[in-house]
C-alpha cells in the first residue's frame, strides 16, 4: 500500500519529540536547564487532531518538565518521557487504547524510533531524519524536524478524512 492509500485509516498519531517536534537542538541555560524550541504550527495541528477525535501521543527518550507541560497545555495528556524502550511503551499504549498498529502514523527521526516504525501502518519522518529511518518511512516530509513536519503529516491525514477545516 502507498502513503496516500493509508491516510484514510489513520486514527492515531504518535511522535518522537527531539528531532521531530524540535530541531534536535538543546539550549543550556545558566542554571543548567536544557531548553527546546517548538514550532507553533505543529502545536496547532496537534491540538486540532486531538479535538477532531484522533489519539495523539508522544514517546521520547528525553526528559523535560517544561516540554511535557507544553503538550498538556495543548490537550495532549499521553506524553511518555525518559523512555528507554519505545516499542514496549508503544505496545502498551495500543493495548490500553484498543488501537490496531495499522491505524497509527508514527513520525520518528533516528534509530531509537526504528523498532516502533517497523510496527505501524504509516511510518513517516522529517526530511533531516537519519538514513536508516528514511529507508523504512513511507513518507518523508519536505520539512525538517521542528520546522513543520508534524503539521505536514497531520494536515494530510485530516484533509483526506475531511476533518481539516
pLDDT (tens, 9 = 90+) of the chain, 165 residues, equals: 788 899 999 999 999 999 999 998 888 889 888 788 899 999 999 999 999 999 999 999 988 888 899 999 999 999 999 999 999 999 999 999 999 999 999 999 999 999 999 999 999 999 999 999 999 999 999 999 999 999 999 999 999 999 998
Which SS3 state, helix, strand or coil, does residue 8 take? helix
On whether 85 is known to bind a ligand per the annotation, the reply is no
Quote the pTM value: 0.95
Which SS3 state, helix, strand or coil, does residue 146 take? coil
Q: Spell out the domains of the chain, with CATH numbers in brackets.
A: 3-160 (3.40.50.1000)
Q: Give me the phi and psi of 43, to 5 degrees please.
A: -60, -45
Strand 34-35 to 27-28 pairing = antiparallel
Helix (H) or strand (E) holding 80: strand 79-80
Q: What are 35's strand-pairing partners?
A: 27
From CA 164, how far away is CA 11, in angstroms rounded? Answer: 14
On whether 92 is known to bind a ligand per the annotation, the reply is no
On whether 109 is known to bind a ligand per the annotation, the reply is yes
Amino acid at each position: 500500500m502507498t502513503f496516500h492509500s493509508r491516510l484514510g485509516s489513520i486514527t492515531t498519531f504518535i511522535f518522537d519529540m527531539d528531532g521531530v517536534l524540535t530541531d534536535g537542538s538543546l539550549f543550556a541555560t545558566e542554571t543548567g536547564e536544557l531548553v527546546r524550541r517548538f514550532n507553533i504550527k505543529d502545536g496547532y495541528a496537534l491540538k486540532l487532531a486531538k479535538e477532531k477525535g484522533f489519539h495523539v501521543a508522544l514517546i521520547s527518550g528525553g526528559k523535560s518538565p517544561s516540554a511535557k507541560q507544553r503538550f498538556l497545555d495543548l490537550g495532549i495528556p499521553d506524553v511518555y518521557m525518559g523512555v528507554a524502550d519505545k516499542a514496549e511503551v508503544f505496545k502498551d499504549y495500543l493495548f490500553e487504547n484498543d488501537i490496531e498498529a495499522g491505524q497509527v502514523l508514527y513520525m520518528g527521526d533516528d534509530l531509537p524510533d526504528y523498532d516502533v516504525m517497523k510496527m505501524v501502518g504509516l511510518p513517516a519522518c522529517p526530511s533531516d531524519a537519519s538514513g536508516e529511518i528514511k529507508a523504512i518511512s513511507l513518507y518523508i516530509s519536505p520539512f525538517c524536524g521542528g520546522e513543520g513536519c508534524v503539521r505536514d503529516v497531520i494536515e494530510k491525514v485530516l484533509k483526506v478524512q475531511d476533518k481539516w477545516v
